[in-house]
């Protein structure tokens, strides 16, 4: 193996360094093709040889898609370009969505020695993230941290929001960010010329281009779309003076709660008072004070109780939904979101589907219980009421109906639903407090399990059944030192999938040793 | 009409001598067909050659001027059968479809065509759907050329080479009386570049002229004893003629010379090989290489003489051949063995047997080969790499997969929502799927359909269950699949065998997955094709008695009821539900400009969009599990009392109605609302809305004054 003198290894052709390799990773439908077209036109108009490729096909239906461009100064001989990006060999990576930026890093297209990563920080959630009954949203902070390490330069901003603000789409703002990055040897004017040459929607595109350019330069803080910080101060309510005085007294009691519980109680109070009235708020406060009296530093129990008792007391009954649907604030909010401007009008259609359970729940406690126990009556109620109803809340009849229902708060405390909810709440709190003396952490975890109860009709029933099964599981391990840990695991498992398969698995594990 | 219009690009097809064409590979092929005097063209759409069909459809004026017949064939078999016109007549014909699935469908016609042999050049332009972006099983079309002895071109992926291959293909076909298949990969179809154009040529004989002078020759018919003669003719005459043409015209290319090592690659792999060599410091920017390359622009037949000449004096040769099995490597090994050569042949021992040859695979493969065969050629950095890279955190568990799915407002989503709900009532059923956008129904959140056997074969794939049982089998078929082959392969099969099964026909007025081409039952007027043939009529025509037409798929409660009925009725024979609503992608493309125009002109327009009341939504995400719509997403609330994100609908919502229908049908929750913004309302309407608004505002203010209200 020594006869290679004729083929002495030479140095790499210096011209190879002139090839600029640019990849675009987008979600199908984002306009990656338009962006690619602009970049191509830009390169060719400025004396570069350029080649673009894409992978079309079904991936363009909302799936992850790749576009790839290579360019170098044109000469009388054609260069040989590659048709696909190679790991470790990409100069500019444009990711039109945050997780796609993550995918480009996984695929090795972003390397610290050469890659400028331009990424939009907005999220287009994948189906797998949306389906989870709990919080299945992928961790954006991890991707942002990895991007800082993997990229030579990292330019990030919410280019989708910037585009929307300027009446255009993300391809234009990303093109602006590319210009601002100065990673291509062309001036800003040349970029704008490419948009003009494209000829479609030139004005909005140019506006969005400029906004994207500025956003990239401003180095917009990489605000991860994660859990926002709660607002610093609760906004003051409006209302009759007498009620405001009562409110002050209640918040005073809330502020007297220990540690972080005070802040949570403020939000909780707002919720229960909105749900019912000041007296109901006082009940909430009394429950909390009872718990705080038995709590100790760092008062996690009181804080969690402040959160979950408020949620439990503000259950989703017909009255609450009707009230929320008829509030003036809601009408204003929707008008704002839909961008309704004079003289445009807004029609509002609600999708309601009452069942016998909801009707029975509205009846007085004893009567409701009898009706609910009678299959004949339930079938009758279903026949009368169980039907999808589309009602126009911008119309007087439907609005009036919901307005009346929403005004039935005086009636609410007598209803079957209220009695059931309160019984469930008392039982749950009693169970948590029962663990308090032997296992503080377990008591806190039991309080947190209230998170499992949510949704309406079947979903609500499934939540209740998961809650019950988690409670059973907890009872099995209550005597163990790591009971709190198991309780947390059971709750998290219950939030993973709809049918509760993960929960069944976790329960089976517990039964194997308990 | 197709999803993408090529009306503007079609003007480039008129360019002549001395001009330059700049654009996509697929358009360049169209131009090359015209420059080479093609007499008839056809095909069946499918990635990556859908655009070729769309371009041809948009170029019908030009084709008419040149006397070229364009046929949008019913399927690939019909397209390949059309090449029969080149058997007796000296007319050049070209058809296009995707591979290998299209070749599967076409193989009967292709085998007959190859046996008969051709007089005029017969070209099959094949979009090989392999590797990233592919939507089908990973196989090679190569084997079809080998089994029927037609020739396979695999040109280098740049426009001048692809354009040249079209002309070479016709000439080779005529010189050897055999059909030729020109293979272009996904990225070659969409690669952009330039080539110098020539004048378009009218065909020497048009198909119309041929009809006036009909010819026939029973020697061309595939019947014994002629069929035996055909086989001998292939091997003794056509094959040698092809080899001679390939050698004489130097269709294959050699790059670089000398040395003890060399690379043999498919033309389509050339750019990848050069890039790897560039990165190893063994090729320059223009492709001048220090490792000689024998580039196979013709991958079948392989020419022993040419290959042995390349191998002469070499010690090691690497075959770069994507996909499996390694047909080329096996043949070249045979040639070396027969020649008693001592050249060491490498290929799949170094490069992976399966999967796409990406940049990384190619670099590693070539480096490994040179390390073994000629380590001195490798630059020092490669021989002793300086591994000092910062560790990038592993994101594989963080980043969710993003398979393709239903578009925003897709009319197929409610069909699968209804099917999921029916299964909640009646239990899980045996469901077979078909090919098309509706196959996305097999993915979460619906997970409906467990297997797919081919285009138009959904109901046929349930054949074993046709006898019925306690629960009925369900199959899915799209309007595209139905007309492609479903009517005969699936429906007559069911009727004849007295199937008890249920068929859900997903009718979106187009072959939507391939880019929205019209089909027989399309509702649109089409100037050159006969549309508006209802599927229901065809069903009744082949003897299906139980047919239900649902004309708005978004009506989930209705679909659910109809499906329930189909699964429980006492009626005998196949139960067919035709669920029809227009593909939203195409509908929006058609209606959006019209709507904007109407608003601008001051006409009354209602623009619907959906919303979610975030206080009412409990964050249980039950709606997501019946939707998956891109515009229905999640939002993290600014509320310390909330753990889970709530549903939110963004501005991309097209107001299809699925959210509200599903919330109703599945009794999910009262969170959804539809907001119709009325543009340019009339004076009476404005007055009445004002009255209503004032009363409502008064009631709201009245209640607000009596209680505490928080927030803005």
Domain end position, chosen among B178, B213, B248: B248
pLDDT over 90 percentage in chain A: 85
Cβ-defined contact of A55 to B190 (cutoff 8 Å):
yes
Question: Helix %, strand %, coil % for chain A, to 5?
Answer: 60, 10, 30
The answer on pLDDT for A350 being more than 50 is yes
Residues of A in contact with B669 (CB under 8 A): 455-457, 459
CB atoms within 10 A of CB B275: 27
Q: Which domain holds residue B25?
A: 7-248
Q: What is the mean pLDDT of residues B44-56?
A: 92
* B87-138 pLDDT per residue, tens: 999 999 999 999 999 999 999 999 999 999 999 999 999 999 999 888 899 9
Query: Could you give the CA distance from residue B323 to residue B318 in angstroms, rounded to a whole number?
Result: 15
Residues B227, B277: one domain? no
Query: Could you give the CA distance from residue B81 to residue B638 in angstroms, rounded to a whole number?
Result: 64
Task: Measure B650 CA to nearest chain A CA, in Å.
Answer: 9
Q: What is the mean pLDDT of residues B392-415?
A: 93
From residue B147, give the alpha-carbon distance in Å to each of B107, B143, B231, B332: 10, 6, 12, 18
pLDDT at A81 (0 to 100): 97
pLDDT at B380 (0 to 100): 75
Instruction: Judge whether B389 lies within some domain.
Output: no
Task: Measure A287 CA to nearest chain B CA, in Å.
Answer: 17
pLDDT at A514 (0 to 100): 79
Cβ(B610)–Cβ(A319) under 8 Å?
Answer: no
Task: Measure A514 CA to nearest chain B CA, in Å.
Answer: 30
Task: Measure A137 CA to nearest chain B CA, in Å.
Answer: 8
* Closest residue in chain A to residue B693, using alpha carbons only: A394
Burial degree of B101 (CB within 10 A; 0-12, 13-18, 19+): buried
List, in order, residues 6 or more apart from A248 with CB less than 8 Å away. Answer: none
Question: Collapsing DSSP states into helix, strand and coil, what is residue B687?
Answer: helix
pLDDT at A227 (0 to 100): 44
The answer on pLDDT for A226 being more than 50 is no
Cβ-defined contact of B405 to A127 (cutoff 8 Å):
yes
pLDDT over 70 percentage in chain B: 98
Q: What is the mean pLDDT of residues A182-207?
A: 95
Residue of B641, B705, B710 with shortest CB distance to A310: B641
The tokens for A33 are: 């093709």
Q: What is the mean pLDDT of residues A215-224?
A: 68
Query: Is residue A256 left, alpha or beta, with left meaning phi > 0 and alpha meaning psi from -120 to 50?
Result: alpha
Residue B403: pLDDT band with limits 50, 70, 90: confident
Burial degree of A26 (CB within 10 A; 0-12, 13-18, 19+): buried
Q: What is the CATH number of the domain that holds B560?
A: 3.40.50.970
Residues B13, B107: one domain? yes
Residue of B47, B132, B697 with shortest CB distance to A328: B697
Task: Measure A513 CA to nearest chain B CA, in Å.
Answer: 30
Residues B51, B190: one domain? yes
Residue of B157, B665, B711 with shortest CB distance to A235: B711
The tokens for A413 are: 């405390």
Residues B506, B429: one domain? yes
Query: Could you give the CA distance from residue A247 to residue A241 in angstroms, rounded to a whole number?
Result: 10
The overall average pLDDT reported for chain B is 95
* A309-326 pLDDT per residue, tens: 999 999 999 999 999 999
Q: Which residue has the tokens 């401007």?
A: A341
Q: ∠ CA(A141), CA(A142), CA(A148), 5° rounding?
A: 90
Cβ-defined contact of B663 to A83 (cutoff 8 Å):
no
Question: Collapsing DSSP states into helix, strand and coil, what is residue B694?
Answer: helix
Instruction: Judge whether B401 lies within some domain.
Output: no
Q: What is the mean pLDDT of residues B247-265?
A: 96
* Closest residue in chain B to residue A49, using alpha carbons only: B193
Cβ(B452)–Cβ(B439) under 8 Å?
Answer: yes
Residue count of chain A: 514
Residue A198: pLDDT band with limits 50, 70, 90: confident
Residues B164, B185: one domain? yes
* Closest residue in chain B to residue A140, using alpha carbons only: B398
Residues B53, B180: one domain? yes
List, in order, residues 6 or more apart from A220 with CB less than 8 Å away. Answer: A156, A157, A158
Residues of B in contact with A147 (CB under 8 A): none
Question: Collapsing DSSP states into helix, strand and coil, what is residue A351?
Answer: strand
The tokens for B295 are: 């580039």
Cβ-defined contact of B674 to A58 (cutoff 8 Å):
no
The full DSSP string for B238-253 is: IHHHHHHHHHHTT-SE
Residues B685, B544: one domain? no
Reduce the secondary structure of B426-456 to three states and give it as a string.
HCCCCEEECCCHHHHHHCCCCCCCCCECCCC
Residues B59, B199: one domain? yes
Which of B98, B99, B628, B670 is most worth mutating to test chain A (most A CB atoms within 10 A of its CB)? B670
The answer on pLDDT for A2 being more than 60 is no
Query: Could you give the CA distance from residue A463 to residue A455 in angstroms, rounded to a whole number?
Result: 8
Query: Could you give the CA distance from residue A505 to residue A513 in angstroms, rounded to a whole number?
Result: 13
pLDDT at B4 (0 to 100): 77
Residues B211, B75: one domain? yes
Counting one residue from A and one from B, how many pairs have CB atoms under 8 Å apart?
431
Task: Measure A324 CA to nearest chain B CA, in Å.
Answer: 7
Which of A6, A36, A57 is most worth mutating to test chain B (most B CB atoms within 10 A of its CB)? A57
pLDDT at A5 (0 to 100): 33
If one compares B501 and B47, the residue with the highest pLDDT of the two is B501
Instruction: Judge whether B269 lies within some domain.
Output: yes
**Does pTM surpass 0.90?**
yes
Q: Measured in Å, how far apart are chain B's first and last C-alpha atoms?
A: 49
Q: What is the mean pLDDT of residues B569-595?
A: 95
Q: What is the CATH number of the domain that holds B262?
A: 3.40.50.920
Instruction: Judge whether B552 lies within some domain.
Output: yes
Residue B712: pLDDT band with limits 50, 70, 90: low
pLDDT at A224 (0 to 100): 44
pLDDT at A228 (0 to 100): 45
Question: Collapsing DSSP states into helix, strand and coil, what is residue B41?
Answer: strand
Task: Measure A124 CA to nearest chain B CA, in Å.
Answer: 8
Residues B155, B263: one domain? no
* Closest residue in chain B to residue A304, using alpha carbons only: B641
Cβ-defined contact of B621 to A132 (cutoff 8 Å):
yes
Instruction: Judge whether B70 lies within some domain.
Output: yes
Helix axes A241-255, A261-275, angle to 10 degrees: 150
The answer on pLDDT for A223 being more than 70 is no
Q: What is the mean pLDDT of residues B5-14?
A: 88
Phi/psi for B412 (5° steps) reads -85, -25
Question: Collapsing DSSP states into helix, strand and coil, what is residue A249?
Answer: helix
Task: Measure B383 CA to nearest chain A CA, in Å.
Answer: 12
* A30-78 pLDDT per residue, tens: 888 899 999 999 999 999 999 999 886 565 677 788 999 999 999 999 9
Cβ-defined contact of B259 to A6 (cutoff 8 Å):
yes
* A251-290 pLDDT per residue, tens: 999 999 998 999 999 999 999 999 999 999 999 999 999 9
Q: Is the ipTM of this complex over 0.90?
A: yes
Query: Could you give the CA distance from residue B40 to residue B36 in angstroms, rounded to a whole number?
Result: 12
Q: Which residue has the tokens 């069942």?
A: A355
Question: Collapsing DSSP states into helix, strand and coil, what is residue A473?
Answer: helix
Residue A10: pLDDT band with limits 50, 70, 90: very low
* Closest residue in chain A to residue B400, using alpha carbons only: A126
pLDDT at A391 (0 to 100): 95
Number of independent structural domains in chain B? 4
The distance of Cα A158 from the centroid of its chain, to the nearest Å, equals: 15
Residues of B in contact with A391 (CB under 8 A): none
Q: What is the mean pLDDT of residues B338-358?
A: 97
Query: Could you give the CA distance from residue B369 to residue B364 in angstroms, rounded to a whole number?
Result: 9
The overall average pLDDT reported for chain A is 92
- Give buried/exposed letters for A468-489 (b at 16+ CB in 10 A, else e): ebbbebbeebbeeeebbebbbb
The answer on pLDDT for A4 being more than 50 is no
Query: Could you give the CA distance from residue A316 to residue B617 in angstroms, rounded to a whole number?
Result: 10
Closest among A94, A83, A34 to B48, alpha carbons compared: A83
Asked whether the bond before A298 is cis by omega within 30 degrees of 0, the reply is yes
Cβ-defined contact of A29 to B630 (cutoff 8 Å):
yes
The tokens for A142 are: 């991890």
Domain end position, chosen among B220, B248, B276: B248
The distance of Cα A309 from the centroid of its chain, to the nearest Å, equals: 24
Instruction: Judge whether B392 lies within some domain.
Output: no
The answer on pLDDT for A104 being more than 90 is yes
Cβ(A254)–Cβ(A266) under 8 Å?
Answer: yes
* Closest residue in chain A to residue B45, using alpha carbons only: A57
Residues of A in contact with B442 (CB under 8 A): none
Cβ-defined contact of B681 to A7 (cutoff 8 Å):
no
Cβ-defined contact of A345 to B278 (cutoff 8 Å):
no
Phi/psi for B293 (5° steps) reads -125, 130
Closest among A336, A331, A332, A333 to A348, alpha carbons compared: A331
CB atoms within 10 A of CB B99: 29
* B418-439 pLDDT per residue, tens: 999 999 999 999 999 999 999 9
If one compares A469 and A26, the residue with the highest pLDDT of the two is A469
Cβ(A301)–Cβ(A443) under 8 Å?
Answer: yes
| Torsion of the alpha carbons at A94, A97, A101 and A107, rounded to the nearest 10 | -90
* A387-401 pLDDT per residue, tens: 999 999 999 999 999
Residues B580, B659: one domain? no
Residue A230: pLDDT band with limits 50, 70, 90: very low
Query: Could you give the CA distance from residue B198 to residue A441 in angstroms, rounded to a whole number?
Result: 82
Task: Measure A481 CA to nearest chain B CA, in Å.
Answer: 27
Question: Collapsing DSSP states into helix, strand and coil, what is residue B292?
Answer: coil
Instruction: Judge whether B271 lies within some domain.
Output: yes
Cβ(B518)–Cβ(B526) under 8 Å?
Answer: yes
Question: Helix %, strand %, coil % for chain B, to 5?
Answer: 40, 15, 40
The tokens for A67 are: 């576009």
* Closest residue in chain B to residue A86, using alpha carbons only: B359
Residues of A in contact with B644 (CB under 8 A): 133-135, 451, 454, 495
Residues B16, B134: one domain? yes
Instruction: Judge whether B475 lies within some domain.
Output: yes
Query: Could you give the CA distance from residue A159 to residue A96 in angstroms, rounded to a whole number?
Result: 8
Query: Could you give the CA distance from residue B668 to residue B665 in angstroms, rounded to a whole number?
Result: 8
The answer on pLDDT for B2 being more than 90 is no
């Amino acid at each position: 193996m020594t006869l290679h003198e004729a083929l002495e290894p030479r140095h790499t052709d210096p011209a190879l360094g002139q090839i600029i390799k640019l990849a675009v990773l987008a979600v199908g439908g984002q306009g990656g093709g338009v962006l690619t077209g602009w970049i191509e036109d830009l390169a060719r108009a400025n004396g570069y040889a350029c080649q673009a490729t894409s992978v079309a096909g079904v991936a363009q239906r909302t799936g992850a898609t790749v576009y790839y461009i290579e360019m170098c100064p044109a000469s009388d001989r054609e260069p040989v370009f590659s048709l696909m990006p190679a790991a470790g060999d990409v100069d500019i990576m444009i990711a039109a969505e945050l997780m796609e930026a993550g995918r480009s890093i996984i695929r090795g297209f972003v390397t610290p020695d050469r890659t400028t990563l331009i990424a939009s920080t907005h999220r287009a959630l994948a189906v797998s993230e949306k389906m989870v009954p709990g919080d299945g949203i992928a961790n954006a902070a991890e991707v942002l941290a990895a991007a800082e390490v993997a990229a030579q330069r990292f330019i990030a901003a919410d280019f989708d929001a910037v585009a929307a603000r300027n009446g255009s789409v993300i391809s234009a703002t990303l093109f602006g960010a590319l210009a601002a990055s100065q990673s291509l040897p062309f001036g800003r004017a040349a970029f704008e010329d490419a948009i003009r040459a494209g000829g479609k929607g030139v004005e909005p595109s140019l506006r969005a281009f400029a906004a994207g350019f500025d956003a990239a330069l401003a180095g917009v803080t990489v605000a991860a779309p994660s859990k926002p910080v709660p607002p610093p101060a609760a906004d003051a309510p409006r209302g009759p003076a007498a009620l405001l005085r009562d409110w002050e007294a209640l918040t005073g009691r809330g502020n007297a709660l220990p540690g972080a519980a005070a802040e949570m109680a403020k939000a909780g109070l707002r919720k229960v008072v909105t749900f019912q009235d000041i007296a109901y708020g006082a009940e909430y406060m009394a429950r909390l004070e009872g718990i705080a009296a038995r709590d100790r530093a760092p008062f996690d129990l009181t804080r969690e109780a402040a959160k979950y008792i408020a949620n439990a007391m503000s259950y989703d009954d017909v009255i609450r939904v009707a009230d929320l649907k008829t509030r003036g604030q809601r009408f204003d909010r929707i008008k704002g979101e839909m961008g309704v401007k004079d003289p445009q009008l807004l029609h509002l259609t609600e999708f309601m589907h009452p069942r016998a359970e909801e009707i029975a729940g509205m009846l007085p406690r004893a009567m409701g219980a009898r009706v609910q126990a009678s299959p004949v009556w339930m079938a009758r109620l279903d026949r009368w009421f169980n039907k999808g109803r589309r009602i126009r809340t911008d119309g007087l009849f439907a609005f009036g109906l919901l307005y009346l229902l929403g005004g039935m708060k005086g009636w609410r405390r007598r209803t079957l639903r209220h009695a059931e909810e309160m019984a469930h709440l008392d039982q749950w709190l009693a169970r948590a407090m029962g663990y308090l003396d032997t296992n503080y952490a377990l008591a806190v975890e039991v309080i947190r399990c209230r998170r499992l109860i949510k949704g309406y009709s079947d979903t609500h029933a499934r939540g209740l059944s998961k809650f019950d099964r988690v409670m059973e599981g907890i009872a099995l391990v209550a005597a163990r030192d790591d009971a709190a840990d198991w309780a947390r695991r059971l709750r998290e498992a219950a939030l993973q999938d709809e049918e509760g398969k993960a929960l069944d698995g976790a329960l089976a594990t517990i039964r194997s040793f308990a | 009409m197709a999803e993408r219009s090529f009306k503007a690009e079609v003007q480039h097809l008129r360019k002549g001598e001395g001009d330059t064409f700049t654009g996509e590979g697929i358009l360049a092929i169209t131009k090359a067909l015209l420059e080479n005097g093609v007499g008839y063209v056809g095909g069946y759409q499918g990635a990556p050659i859908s655009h070729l069909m769309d371009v041809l459809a948009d170029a019908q004026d030009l084709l008419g001027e040149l006397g070229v017949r364009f046929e949008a064939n019913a399927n690939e078999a019909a397209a390949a059968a059309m090449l029969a016109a080149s058997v007796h007549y000296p007319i050049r014909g070209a058809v296009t479809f995707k591979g290998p699935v299209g070749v599967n469908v076409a193989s009967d016609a292709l085998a007959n065509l190859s046996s008969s042999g051709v007089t005029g050049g017969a070209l099959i332009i094949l979009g090989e759907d392999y590797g990233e972006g592919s939507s089908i099983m990973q196989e090679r079309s190569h084997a079809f050329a080998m089994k029927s002895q037609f020739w396979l071109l695999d040109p280098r992926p740049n426009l001048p080479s692809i354009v040249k291959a079209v002309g070479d293909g016709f000439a080779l076909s005529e010189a050897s009386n055999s059909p030729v298949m020109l293979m272009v990969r996904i990225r070659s179809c969409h690669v952009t570049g330039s080539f110098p154009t020539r004048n378009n040529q009218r065909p020497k004989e048009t198909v119309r002229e041929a009809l006036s002078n009909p010819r026939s020759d029973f020697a061309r018919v595939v019947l014994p004893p002629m069929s035996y003669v055909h086989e001998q003719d292939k091997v003794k005459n056509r094959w040698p003629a092809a080899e001679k043409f390939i050698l004489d015209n130097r269709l294959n290319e050699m790059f670089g010379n000398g040395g003890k090592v060399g690379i043999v690659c498919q033309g389509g792999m050339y750019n990848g090989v050069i890039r790897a060599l560039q990165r190893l410091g063994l090729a320059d920017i223009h492709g001048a290489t220090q490792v000689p390359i024998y580039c196979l622009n013709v991958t079948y037949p392989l020419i022993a003489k040419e290959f042995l000449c390349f191998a002469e004096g070499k010690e090691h040769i690497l075959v770069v051949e994507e996909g499996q099995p390694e047909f080329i490597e096996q043949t070249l090994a045979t040639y070396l063995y027969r020649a008693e050569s001592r050249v060491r042949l490498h290929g799949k021992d170094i490069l992976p047997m399966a999967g796409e040859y990406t940049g990384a695979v190619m670099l590693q493969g070539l480096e490994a080969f040179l390390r073994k065969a000629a380590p001195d050629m490798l630059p020092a950095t490669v021989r002793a790499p300086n591994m000092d890279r910062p560790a990038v955190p592993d994101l594989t568990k963080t980043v969710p997969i993003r398979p393709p799915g239903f578009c925003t407002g897709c009319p197929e989503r409610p069909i699968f929502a209804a099917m999921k709900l029916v299964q909640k009532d009646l239990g899980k059923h045996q469901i077979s799927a078909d090919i098309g956008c509706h196959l996305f129904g097999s993915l979460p959140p619906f997970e409906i359909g467990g297997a797919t056997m081919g285009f138009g074969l959904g109901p046929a794939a349930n054949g074993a269950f046709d006898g019925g049982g306690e629960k009925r089998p369900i199959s899915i078929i799209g309007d595209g699949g139905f007309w492609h082959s479903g009517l005969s392969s699936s429906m007559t099969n069911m009727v004849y065998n007295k199937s008890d099964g249920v068929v859900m026909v997903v009718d979106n007025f187009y072959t939507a997955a391939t880019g929205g081409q019209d089909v027989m039952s399309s509702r649109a007027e089409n100037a050159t094709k006969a549309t508006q043939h209802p599927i229901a009529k065809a069903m009744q025509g082949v003897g299906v008695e139980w047919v239900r037409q649902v004309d708005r798929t978004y009506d989930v409660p209705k679909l659910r009821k109809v499906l329930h009925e189909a699964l429980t009725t006492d009626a005998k024979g196949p139960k067919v539900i035709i669920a029809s609503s227009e593909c939203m992608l195409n509908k929006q493309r058609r209606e959006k400009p019209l709507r904007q125009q109407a608003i601008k002109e001051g006409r009354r327009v209602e623009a619907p969009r959906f919303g979610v009341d975030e206080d009412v939504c409990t964050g249980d995400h039950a709606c997501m599990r019946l939707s998956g719509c891109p515009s229905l997403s999640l939002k993290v609330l600014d509320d310390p009392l909330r753990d889970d994100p709530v549903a939110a609908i963004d501005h991309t919502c097209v107001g299809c109605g699925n959210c509200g229908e599903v919330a109703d049908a599945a009794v999910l929750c009262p969170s959804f609302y539809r907001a119709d913004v009325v543009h340019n309302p009339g004076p009476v309407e404005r007055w009445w809305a004002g009255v209503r608004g004032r009363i409502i505002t008064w009631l709201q203010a009245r209640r607000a004054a009596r209680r505490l209200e928080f927030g803005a």
